[in-house]
């Protein structure tokens, strides 16, 4: 559900521009990042009005202590306050009392932490945002929602994965012509790039250590494979694999030899297995120093690259789909699409835009 967000009557905020169409917002507080997306309905789903992304490392130290640290919570709340302020500007610019429809979610770090609920309460009090913890199934559903436009019209099944900071969601999806994709199975692995980097970052840089990690993760996937027989479906054909995470977008940037990261060149790109294998090999060969200098990575994200590659390599080796579709989109987009569908005013605006 979304919450209508309006600026307080006695507070004046800048007007980005006067709006006439409904405005929607999605805020995703993950284990590593805080992200926001504001948009209005369009013929393509929605038009982006504003976006925000910042590394907050909310899950830093969680693996060792089982708790969110005070400094990590402060970083997250500071970023959430920026999101709230920017959302309020758009709410105010949309007309008196109109506000925007907004949803704010937290994922694995808050699900795992002993003090996760206390943090949510503190964040809500500090920012006014309707922050809530969602479960792993809904996280998988939102990822499917956001990536649905990239699923081919001739496939029978889609295998989607999202490598996050604290967990990895895998979604097995039924695809039927003329209908929205349906989640028929999901798996949430309690590992992500942050948790793995804290546990075994250094071992990822040795061939033997990386291989052991891949084998361990592959073992965690076998029960899901046994239930859904995904390998058999792949051999029959008609299965598409989609990856949405910093890991796969980084590998796409490496594969495409980008001099800087460009979302327009990455989102929706198809990489065959040969290209994927080459990108994985190149990332591993670069080592920590080389990865930190890469234009699509940088020092802030370097420690998460190879742990993410190990998770992806396990998925890639177990389920050998001929092609990977890379998605630079995620939970924010999924939230916006759900809010738009649930709002009568938004549906009207969407139809008018579509028919224009």
pLDDT digits (tens, 9 = 90+) for 92-121: 776 544 578 999 999 999 999 999 999 999
Of residues 191, 251, 217, the one with CA closest to residue 319: 217
Taking alpha carbons only, the member of 160, 138, 165 closest to residue 149 is: 160
Q: How many residues would you count in the chain? A: 356
What does the pLDDT read at residue 253?
Answer: 94
Q: Mean pLDDT of all residues in the chain?
A: 88
- Which is higher by pLDDT, 51 or 92? 51
**Domains of the chain, earliest start first:** 3-134+334-355 (3.30.420.40), 137-321 (3.30.420.150)
pTM of the model: 0.86
| Section 56-80 average pLDDT | 95
Take residue 206 and report the two structure tokens written for it. 């040795």
Degrees to nearest 5, angle at CA 334 with 332 and 47: 75
Q: Check if the beta carbon of residue 40 is closer than 8 Å to that of residue 47.
A: yes
**What's the confidence (pLDDT) of residue 12?**
35
How confident is the model over 158-194, as pLDDT tens digits? 999 999 999 999 999 999 988 999 999 999 999 999 9
In the chain, what are the helix, strand and coil shares in percent, each to the nearest 5? 50, 20, 30
Model confidence pLDDT, tens digit, residues 203-247: 888 999 999 999 999 999 999 999 999 999 999 999 999 999 899
């Amino acid at each position: 559900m979304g919450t209508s967000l309006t600026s307080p009557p006695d507070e004046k905020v800048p007007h980005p521009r006067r709006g006439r169409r409904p405005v929607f917002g999605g805020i995703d507080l993950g284990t590593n990042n805080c992200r926001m997306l504001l948009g209005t309905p369009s013929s393509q789903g929605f038009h982006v009005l504003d976006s925000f992304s910042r590394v907050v490392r909310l899950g830093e130290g969680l693996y060792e202590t089982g708790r969110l640290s005070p400094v990590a919570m402060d970083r997250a709340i500071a970023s959430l306050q920026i999101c709230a302020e920017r959302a309020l500007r758009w709410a105010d610019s949309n007309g008196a009392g109109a506000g925007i429809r907004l949803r704010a979610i937290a994922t694995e770090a808050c699900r795992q932490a002993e003090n996760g609920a206390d943090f949510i309460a503190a964040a809500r009090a500090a920012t006014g945002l309707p922050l809530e913890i969602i479960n792993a199934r809904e996280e998988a559903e939102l990822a499917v929602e956001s990536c649905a436009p990239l699923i081919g019209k001739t496939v029978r099944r889609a295998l989607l994965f999202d490598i996050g900071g604290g967990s990895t969601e895998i979604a097995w999806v039924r695809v039927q012509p003329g209908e929205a994709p349906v989640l028929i199975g999901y798996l949430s692995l309690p590992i992500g790039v942050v948790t793995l980097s804290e546990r075994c970052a250094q071992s990822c840089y040795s061939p033997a250590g990386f291989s052991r990690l891949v084998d361990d993760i592959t073992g965690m996937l076998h029960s899901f494979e046994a239930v859904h027989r995904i390998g058999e479906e792949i051999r029959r054909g008609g299965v598409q694999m989609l990856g949405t995470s910093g890991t796969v977008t980084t590998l796409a940037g490496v594969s495409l030899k980008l001099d800087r990261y460009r979302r327009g060149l990455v989102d929706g790109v198809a990489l065959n297995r040969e290209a994927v294998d080459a990108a994985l090999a190149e990332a591993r060969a670069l080592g920590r120093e080389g990865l930190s200098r890469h234009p699509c990575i940088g020092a802030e994200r370097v420690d998460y690259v190879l742990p993410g590659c190990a998770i992806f390599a396990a998925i890639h080796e177990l389920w050998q789909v001929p092609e990977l579709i890379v998605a630079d989109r995620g939970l924010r987009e999924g939230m916006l699409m759900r809010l738009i569908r649930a709002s009568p005013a938004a549906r009207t605006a969407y139809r008018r835009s579509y028919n224009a």
